Amino acid sequence: MDIPVFKIFAIFGIVSAWAQKALVDNKVTLKEAVDLVVPIAEVLGVETHIDLEEPEAVDTVPEEVPASFDKVNPELKKEPL
């Protein structure tokens, strides 16, 4: 794949601008990585389809201590929830 020189300069500019913002905290998040990849893909004419959905909240229900737990360590007693 031959990449024209002007596209290489465009990619260099994208990476440089991205790095100034994204690397301030010396960390790269997934969103920051996508923010870099999508413009580069556009310059190269590559189609991208990336879905970044917020994770759904998971209700954490405390698990009950199994009855056999008392037999394993009888000094520890179940406390009512």
Give the contacts of 22 (CB within 8 A, at least 6 positions apart): 28, 29, 32, 35, 36
pLDDT tens profile 18-51: 999 888 888 888 888 989 999 999 999 999 887 7
Of all residues in the chain, the percent with pLDDT exceeding 90 is 31
**Chain CA centroid to CA 74, Å:** 43
Side-chain-side CA neighbours of residue 75 (13 Å): 0
Query: What pLDDT, on the 0 to 100 scale, is given for residue 67?
Result: 59
Query: What pLDDT, on the 0 to 100 scale, is given for residue 31?
Result: 87
Query: What pLDDT, on the 0 to 100 scale, is given for residue 40?
Result: 93
Contact assessment for residue 39 and residue 22, using Cβ atoms and an 8 Å cutoff: no
